[in-house]
Amino acid sequence: MNDRLREQRDLVVALDEQVKSLSATVSNVDGSVSVQVDGYGAPTGLWLRDNAYRNGPDALADQIVKVAQAAAELVAGRQAYLHGEYVARASRSTE
């Protein structure tokens, strides 16, 4: 394997490791619902305070979904940044 291919492979491995290490936790405005997601946007934690139930189960479900989506969007932004860094480094290594 030539040096350029090794460098490309190492960059891909590093990108994958960085994405795997990402995590984000987001809470709603009053802090009654918090959701944690991994680097791929999959939920890994859910915390509910007592006041999360005050508006009934449908409102609670809606809050969980909204907070989880916000956390996933935050991680997606971080992924996009990492991908941009990867592309920049990969293009420099081919020059």
User: For the segment 55-81, what is each residue's pLDDT rounded down to a tens digit?
Assistant: 999 999 999 999 999 999 999 999 999
Number of domains in the chain: 1
* Choice between 25 and 12, residue whose per-residue pLDDT is larger: 25
- Percent of the chain's residues with pLDDT above 70: 96
Give 67's Cβ-side CA count (13 Å radius).
26
Measured from the Cβ of residue 40, the count of other Cβ atoms closer than 10 Å reads 13
Identify the pLDDT of residue 95: 62
> Which domain CATH number covers 61?
3.30.1310.10
pLDDT level of residue 1 (50, 70, 90 thresholds): low
If you average pLDDT over every residue of the chain, what do you get? 90
What does pTM read for this prediction? 0.81
Residue with tokens 């795997």: 20
Domain containing 15 equals 3-93
